[in-house]
């Protein structure tokens, strides 16, 4: 598998090698030794899966506070997403900046999002299924959200706010500047 450091190098796009034959293809999508060699947290403790029926569905920007801060390994089993990670580490030189990657079932790419980042995605196709592994268990008490369309983040989402399918929680999330608890 190939590890590609994005403009914020803590966030890594991963491109597994695909072994194609007449039946289709096979790929290793996670290997502890490869993650350790790359310096990425390999200790995932929970797998998640979500289905979003409409293109233009936005889930995020979410994170969990310590001691339940999560590293995430995101992949797409069906459809396509624009996956986004926002640096919310107050001491970081890239605080408030983001990186994005297209993940889809065809390219088979994954995105590694470390602790200290808010994560979200917008679906690009109907019936998109996202599978992701997290390094700490879910804790509702530690979960926080940042408004996905915060102009200060300047994220070039493929959907207008008025047309996006979002949860009430995400629609009402505070902007980054108004989010009291960050890293
Ligand atoms: C995240 C999570 C949620 N839930 C329950 C809580 C709610 O009753 C229901 C839906 O949760 P939520 O609306 O937060 O789901 P998403 O909007 O897809 O949230 C996810 O979206 C973005 C992309 C993320 O990166 C987060 O990992 C995750 O927060 O599932 C659980 O039981 N366990 C969990 O780990």
pLDDT digits (tens, 9 = 90+) for 68-79: 999 999 999 999
Quote the percentage of the chain above a pLDDT of 90: 96
Closest CA to 112 of 104, 101, 124: 101
> How many Å lie between the centroid of ligand 1 and the Cα of residue 138?
8
pTM: 0.97
Token pair listed for 123: 């679906």
Ligand 1 proximity of 59 Cβ (cutoff 6 Å)? yes
Distance 43 CA to ligand 1 centre (A): 20
Counting atoms of ligand 1 from 1, which one is nearest the CA of 74?
A: 25
Please check the confidence at residue 42 and state whether its pLDDT lies above 90. no
Exposed/middle/buried for residue 125 (C-beta within 10 Å: 0-12, 13-18, 19+): middle
The ipTM (two decimal places) reads 0.97
Q: Is the CB of 136 under 6 A from ligand 1?
A: no
Alpha carbon separation from 166 to 6, 57, 86, 122, 152 (Å, rounded) = 27, 6, 18, 10, 19
The pLDDT assigned to 19 comes to: 96
**Other C-beta atoms within 10 Å of 180: how many?**
6
Q: Which residues are catalytic?
A: 62, 132
**What would the DSSP string read from start to end of 122-179?**
EESSSSEEEEEEESS---GGGEEE--TT-GGG----SS-GGG-B--HHHHTPPPGGG-
Residue from 47, 54, 62, 68 to probe ligand 1 pocket by mutation (most atoms less than 8 Å from CB) = 62
Predicted pLDDT of residue 23? 97
- Residue-wise pLDDT tens digits, 105-128: 999 999 999 999 999 999 999 999
What is the pLDDT averaged over residues 127-138? Answer: 98
Chain centroid to CA 104: how far? Answer: 13
Question: Residue 137: is its pLDDT beyond 90?
Answer: yes
Q: Which of 139, 3, 158, 153 minimizes the C-alpha distance to 87?
A: 153
CA–centroid distance, 17 to ligand 1, in Å, is 29
């Amino acid at each position: 598998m190939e590890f590609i450091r994005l403009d914020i190098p803590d966030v890594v796009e991963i491109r597994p090698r695909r072994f194609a034959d007449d039946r289709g293809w096979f790929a290793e999508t996670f290997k502890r030794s490869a993650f350790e060699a790359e310096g990425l947290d390999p200790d995932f403790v929970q797998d998640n899966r979500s289905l979003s029926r409409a293109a233009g569905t936005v889930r995020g920007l979410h994170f969990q506070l310590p001691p339940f801060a999560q590293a995430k390994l995101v992949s797409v089993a069906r459809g396509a997403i624009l996956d986004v990670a926002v640096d919310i580490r107050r001491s970081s030189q890239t605080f408030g900046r983001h990186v994005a990657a297209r993940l889809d079932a065809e390219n088979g790419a994954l995105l590694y999002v470390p602790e200290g980042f808010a994560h979200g995605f917008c679906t690009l196709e109907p019936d998109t299924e996202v599978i992701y592994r997290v390094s700490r268990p879910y804790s509702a008490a530690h979960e926080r959200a940042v408004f996905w369309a915060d102009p200060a983040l300047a994220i070039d989402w493929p959907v207008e706010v008025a047309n996006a399918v979002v949860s009430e929680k995400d629609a009402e999330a505070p902007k980054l500047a108004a989010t009291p608890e960050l890293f």
